[in-house]
Structure 1
C-alpha cells in the first residue's frame, strides 16, 4: 500500500509538470529549406560532418558574452581602396546588427606586419597565411572586453600549404577569425561583394561562438567549398541556428530582424531582406 501511494504521488507530479515552453523561433521551422543532395566538389560531399542540433549546442558550454567580455572587434589588415574601406565599414555595421553587440574597429595592421614566411604567391596572387593570423597575430590584439576579434583583409588567404585558398578561417579556442573579400569583387559589383563578405564574416564569428557547420537546412552556417556554392547560400540562419544564437546572446529577436532588414534593403540586398521579413512575420 505504501509503495502504491508513492507511485500515485509520483504520477500526480508528472501529470502536473508543465511542458517546456516552445521558443517563438520554432515557428520559423516551416520556412527552412531542406538541403539537396550535394554535387561533387561541394562542402558536404567532401567533408564528413555530423552537424549540431540546438540541444547539443546548449550542452557544450559555448563561447558567450559576460559583463566584462561583450564587444566584437574588427581588425583591418593591409591596404584598402576607398571603395573597399566602405565595404569594411558596412561589414562592421552589419556584424553589430547581426549579433546585437557593440562592434568596434581596431587600428589597421599594415601588410608588412605579416612575416615574409607567412605569405606566398599562388598563381600570381599574393596570399596571407590565415592560420598565422588567427592563431598568432590576433590573440595579441584581443582587448580585455573582447568576445571575438575578426580580421578583414583585401588580400587572398590560405589556411595551410596543401590548400589553394579560403574565404575565411576561425579558431574556436582563440575566439579569432579572418575573412577576405579578395575573390568577392566581380565586375566592380560592390553590392555583390558586400553580400559575400558580410556572409563570410558572420559565418566565421558564428564559429567563434561555437556554432558548427549546419546540416539541418539551407543556412548561412552551411560549409562551402567555392564561390558558386557560397552564392547559393542565404544571408540568413535556419531556425535551428537562429535558436542557438538567440539562446546564447539573449537579444530581442524582433529588434534584430528589423535592423537587419533595414540594412539589407538600404544596401540593395532585397532578396535576403525578403527572407528575413518572412522569418520576422513567422515569429507572430
Structure 2
C-alpha cells in the first residue's frame, strides 16, 4: 500500500514537471532568433557556450524562502526628480518581473567609494570601480531578508582598469549587483527621452538580477539575458526573457506564468511602452 502511494505521488510530481516542460516548449514558438553577431557586439568579443537547463540546476540556484524573498534597490549618489521617478517605476517593474517583493533601500553616498576605487574615464566622466561597490559597499548593506540587492549608481562604472566601462556587474554567490544610469540617459534625462531611458534601465537591472538568480548570458534566442557591449546593442535586446530563461527563473521562484505575463503587459501599457506589450501578447496566448 505504501509503495503504491509513493508511486502515485511520484507520478503526480512527474506529470506536473512534464506539464511545465510542455508549457515552455510551446512558449519557445514565440522566441525570436538571435540576430547575427556583428563586430563590436558582445558575442563577437566574448564567445560563450550558454547554459542548458540541466547546467542551471547543477549550479544550485537560489530559491526564495519564507524569510529570504525580498529584492532591494538602493540609489548610489544624487538623483533628480525624473531619475527618482524612474527608480520608483523600476521597483514596480522588478516586483512584477520576478514576482517577489521589491523595496527601496537606504540611499548610499558616492563618498563611500575611496579615491583609489574611482577614476576619470576617457570621456572626462567620473567612474566608480564596480567590483568595490559590490564587495565593500552593497554586501555590508544587504539585510537578512534580501534574496538580491541591487545598487543603482548615478556615476559611471568600470569593472577593472583595462575596461572602458560596464553597464552593470553582479555576483551570484553574494547576491548583489550594481548598474549605472549614466550611459542609459543620453547625457541628460528629459521628458522627451524618459520612455527610452526607462526601458534601458528595466533591461539592464532585470538582466543583472537575473544573474543573481543563476541565469547565465543567453545565446539561445533574442532575450534580456543576452550580453551587451554598448548602448545600441542594449536597445536591440528585448525586455522579454526567452522561453529557456523563463523556465529557469520560474523553476527558482515558482510564480504563476500567466499572472506574470498579464501584469507585465499591464505595466507596459500603463507606462506607454507599447512595443514591449506587443511582444508579450503572444506569450499570453500560451496557456498552462
Give yes or no for TM over 0.5.
yes
1:47 aligned partner:
46
1:160 aligns with 2:164: no
2:6 aligned partner:
none
1:151 aligned partner:
151
Structure 2 segments unaligned to the other structure (5+ residues): 1-10
Query: Over residues 207-249 of structure 1, what are the superposed CA-to-partner deviations in whole Å (9 max), with x where a residue is unaligned?
Result: 0111000011010000011000111111000000001111110
Specify the SS of the correspondent of 1:124. Answer: coil
Asked whether the equivalents of residues 168 and 179 of structure 1 are also in contact (C-alpha less than 8 Å), the reply is yes
2:7 aligned partner:
none
2:18 aligned partner:
21
Query: Over residues 12-52 of structure 1, what are the superposed CA-to-partner deviations in whole Å (9 max), with x where a residue is unaligned?
Result: xxxx9977624222211111112232101111111121101
Specify the SS of the correspondent of 2:73. Answer: strand
CA RMSD of aligned residues (A): 1.6
Give distance in 2, aligned partners of 1:275 and 1:59. 31
TM-score (norm 1): 0.91
Instruction: Tell me the number of residue pairs that the alignment of Structure 1 and Structure 2 aligns.
Output: 269
Specify the SS of the correspondent of 2:18. Answer: coil
1:34 aligned partner:
33
Asked whether the equivalents of residues 156 and 165 of structure 1 are also in contact (C-alpha less than 8 Å), the reply is yes
Alignment of 1:215-230 (within 5 A): 215-230=219-234
Runs of 4+ aligned residues of structure 1 deviating over 6 Å after TM superposition are 16-19
Give distance in 2, aligned partners of 1:246 and 1:263. 20
Structure whose alpha-carbon radius of gyration is higher: 1
Give distance in 1, aligned partners of 2:89 and 2:153. 14
Give distance in 1, aligned partners of 2:80 and 2:106. 16
Structure 1 segments unaligned to the other structure (5+ residues): 1-15
1:80 aligned partner:
79
